[in-house]
Chain A
Amino acid sequence: MGRAAMADDGKRVGGVLARLKAAKKRYGDTTALDGLDLEVRQGELLAVLGPNGAGKTTAIALLLGLQRPDAGEALLFDRSPHDLAARRGVGVMMQEVSLPDALRVRELIAMTQAYYPDPLALAEAIALAGVEKIAERPYVKLSGGQKRQAQFALAICGRPRLLFLDEPTTGLDLTSRETMWATLRGLVSRGISIVLTTHYIEEAEALADRVVVMAKGRAIANGTVAEMRALVVRKRVDCVTDLDLAAIAAWPDVTTAHRDGGQVSITTPDAEAVVRRLLAADAGLADLEVRRAGLSEAFAELTQEPAQ
């Protein structure tokens, strides 16, 4: 909570805009949130990662006042999220929503802007979201990806301080995704905070100042992308060798070893020791490669072993 006002990359971040304190939420027999603590700081892009059913969407629903926590607390701009004044600082892109079919994208933006005290100019919102080409089209005539773009325009049109984006790039083609990423970076550089849930690991790696990994309704890890990677210290060693796989697997620092044809892949917390021993044991060893585990591997490992 009182942790550094400086993010690890040196960017200045300020107060807490939104916060869940020990939030619990059950739906019947299912525990969606099990005492989740979460805070969103000013000026950061927070990526919330987790498998389906981890509680990401429920966490956002509590912060938007769409649901009330069974226990614990949800705060938005130090107020209840049910307070209209708090939600005036927020823009939203939800996962499942259908908008009025008969209205054009430009009209939907105008409709949404009317709810905010100091929205962007209509043309500015259209340009910022990159929806110039579809602005005059009725919503019903848009493709799935174009609908996501239109929803993104609605999220940013009110000049929000804080954006909640629930899987914003799902269904987008590569170009549109790149465009949205660029827009998000631009918004963060203007001091806007963003909470983004995603199942694209590369999206978190490309954008996030901070990552929260959720599993079973709790945050199991929280830190910068680099810290997430460091949490899982294993590295991956690939090479082509004739050495016996079972023998390699029995070495002290080897966590796992697999063979695919001539190619052997080893994961280990101590790559240097393993490489030294490999080179000593096999003079004919070729194609040696050592890599740090990606966030994807770190993430898979974290969600498989929430007890850690």
Chain B
Amino acid sequence: MTASAPVTVAPMSPGRLIGAYLSDAKWESLRLLRTPAFSIPILAMPILFYLFFGVLLAGGRAHGPAANWMFVGWTVYAVMGPGLFGFGILVAVERNMGLLTFKRALPMPTGSYLTSKLLMALLFAIVVMAMLVATALTVGHVTLSSGQVATVAAVMSLGVIPACAIGLFIGAFAPASSAAAFANIVYLSMAFLSGLFFPLPMALQPFKAIWPTYHLKELALASASLPSEGSVGGHVAVLAGLTVVLTTLAARKLARLG
């Protein structure tokens, strides 16, 4: 026997490789579902807020177009949460506690760390959105066709991607102890300063276009043939550009970590 006898490791079949991605997404979703500090705000808050502000407080005024506009606004709020908090807090904490290092030492498929969180965010977003749609159609006085509802849902599912990019950026740069605070500040600023739930005062109008939530909402409105501002291409370009820039910066930061 020579000293350099090659030692081979069994190759990974494509089926097992895909299985590894799905397995990661499954466990990532399950652990967050079991973490009330995460799952309750993400799953319950948008529905409660929508019921309270969008349905009860709006009273008889929010019917037809106003109710539709309000509903789309709250779906934007709902789909931003899982990506923003799922990435923002978890990446910061896992960076800190050594889990990221451990997973990088394991033969975890490249990309599965982020893909599993993206799928988790998408899954949570779909669940929240389904609850919002059910609420809107039963007590929300919306006058959308099933086609329009489906279009809004589809656009919002894609909206998970920029939400994850913003969360990843926060998670890569914020200290673990303050990542939750940063995520909340960004979340609330994006929701209120982009005019998701009520028309903005004139003074704030010119600045609403800096928030990705504004573009996502207008994109959903336009796609569902509801009154909207700006162009579809413009909104898509802003959201895609933001996603690429934030992801690139975050990836560089994470790659530098020992």
B231 interfacial contact with A, CB 8 Å:
no
Does A111 lie within 8 Å of B24, measured CB to CB? yes
Residue of B whose beta carbon sits closest to that of A96: B98
- What is the distance, in angstroms, from B258's C-beta to the closest C-beta of chain A? 6
A15-B6, A102-B31 given; A94·B102 CB < 8 A: yes
Write the A202-220 contact mask toward B (1 if CB under 8 angstroms, else 0). 0000000000000000000
How large, as a class, is the contact surface on chain B?
A: 35 or more
Other-chain residue from B13, B20, B24, B105 in contact with A64 (beta carbon distance below 8 A): B105
Other-chain residue from A1, A17, A97, A115 in contact with B101 (beta carbon distance below 8 A): A97
Please give, as numbers and ranges, the residues of chain B lying within 8 Å of A85 by CB-CB distance.
9, 11-12
Chain B interface, >50% SS class: loop
How large, as a class, is the contact surface on chain A?
A: 35 or more
Residue of A whose beta carbon sits closest to that of B106: A115
Please give, as numbers and ranges, the residues of chain B lying within 8 Å of A99 by CB-CB distance.
99, 102
Other-chain residue from B6, B8, B104 in contact with A66 (beta carbon distance below 8 A): B104
Please give, as numbers and ranges, the residues of chain B lying within 8 Å of A115 by CB-CB distance.
20, 106-109
A110 interfacial contact with B, CB 8 Å:
yes
Does A98 lie within 8 Å of B98, measured CB to CB? yes
Among the interface residues A90, A110, A114, which one has the most CB atoms of the partner chain B within 10 A? Answer: A114
Q: In the complex, A110 Cα to B97 Cα: how many Å?
A: 21
Please give, as numbers and ranges, the residues of chain B lying within 8 Å of A100 by CB-CB distance.
27, 31, 99
Please give, as numbers and ranges, the residues of chain A lying within 8 Å of B35 by CB-CB distance.
101-102
Write the A18-61 contact mask toward B (1 if CB under 8 angstroms, else 0). 00000000000000000000000110000000000000000001
Residue of B whose beta carbon sits closest to that of A164: B105
Residue of B whose beta carbon sits closest to that of A2: B3
Q: In the complex, A85 Cα to B110 Cα: how many Å?
A: 11
Q: In the complex, A14 Cα to B1 Cα: how many Å?
A: 7
B34 interfacial contact with A, CB 8 Å:
yes
Please give, as numbers and ranges, the residues of chain A lying within 8 Å of B99 by CB-CB distance.
97-100
Q: In the complex, A66 Cα to B16 Cα: how many Å?
A: 24
Other-chain residue from A3, A12, A112, A118 in contact with B106 (beta carbon distance below 8 A): A112
A84 interfacial contact with B, CB 8 Å:
yes
Q: In the complex, A112 Cα to B106 Cα: how many Å?
A: 8
Among the interface residues B12, B20, B35, B106, which one has the most CB atoms of the partner chain A within 10 A? Answer: B106
- What is the distance, in angstroms, from A115's C-beta to the closest C-beta of chain B? 5
B-facing residues in A250-304 (Cβ within 8 Å):
none
Does B7 lie within 8 Å of A94, measured CB to CB? no
- What is the distance, in angstroms, from A169's C-beta to the closest C-beta of chain B? 18
Residue of B whose beta carbon sits closest to that of A78: B6
Please give, as numbers and ranges, the residues of chain B lying within 8 Å of A90 by CB-CB distance.
105, 107
Does B11 lie within 8 Å of A97, measured CB to CB? no
A117 interfacial contact with B, CB 8 Å:
yes
A-facing residues in B74-120 (Cβ within 8 Å):
97-99, 101-102, 104-110
Please give, as numbers and ranges, the residues of chain B lying within 8 Å of A86 by CB-CB distance.
9
Please give, as numbers and ranges, the residues of chain B lying within 8 Å of A16 by CB-CB distance.
3-4
Does A117 lie within 8 Å of B7, measured CB to CB? no
Residue of A whose beta carbon sits closest to that of B101: A66
Residue of B whose beta carbon sits closest to that of A99: B99
B139 interfacial contact with A, CB 8 Å:
no
A65-B105, A92-B105, A98-B99 given; A114·B7 CB < 8 A: no
B134 interfacial contact with A, CB 8 Å:
no
A181 interfacial contact with B, CB 8 Å:
no
A176 interfacial contact with B, CB 8 Å:
no
Please give, as numbers and ranges, the residues of chain A lying within 8 Å of B98 by CB-CB distance.
94, 96-98
A130 interfacial contact with B, CB 8 Å:
no
- What is the distance, in angstroms, from B3's C-beta to the closest C-beta of chain A? 5
- What is the distance, in angstroms, from A246's C-beta to the closest C-beta of chain B? 54
A-facing residues in B228-258 (Cβ within 8 Å):
258
Please give, as numbers and ranges, the residues of chain B lying within 8 Å of A111 by CB-CB distance.
23-24, 27
Does B31 lie within 8 Å of A84, measured CB to CB? no
- What is the distance, in angstroms, from A167's C-beta to the closest C-beta of chain B? 14
Please give, as numbers and ranges, the residues of chain B lying within 8 Å of A2 by CB-CB distance.
3
A1-B3, A94-B98 given; A103·B16 CB < 8 A: no
B59 interfacial contact with A, CB 8 Å:
no
A-facing residues in B178-208 (Cβ within 8 Å):
none
Does A94 lie within 8 Å of B16, measured CB to CB? no
Q: In the complex, A34 Cα to B31 Cα: how many Å?
A: 42
Please give, as numbers and ranges, the residues of chain A lying within 8 Å of B109 by CB-CB distance.
84, 115
Starting from the known contacts A14-B1, A84-B109, A103-B27, 18 additional A-B residue pairs (CB-CB under 8 Å) come to: A5-B3, A15-B5, A15-B7, A64-B105, A66-B258, A84-B107, A85-B11, A88-B9, A92-B105, A94-B105, A99-B99, A101-B31, A115-B109, A117-B10, A117-B11, A117-B12, A117-B13, A118-B10
Which residues in B have some Cβ–Cβ distance to A below 8 Å? Answer: 1-13, 16, 19-20, 23-24, 27, 30-32, 34-35, 97-99, 101-102, 104-110, 258
10 A-B residue pairs with CB within 8 Å: A15-B7, A64-B105, A88-B107, A98-B98, A102-B34, A103-B30, A114-B23, A114-B24, A115-B108, A158-B107
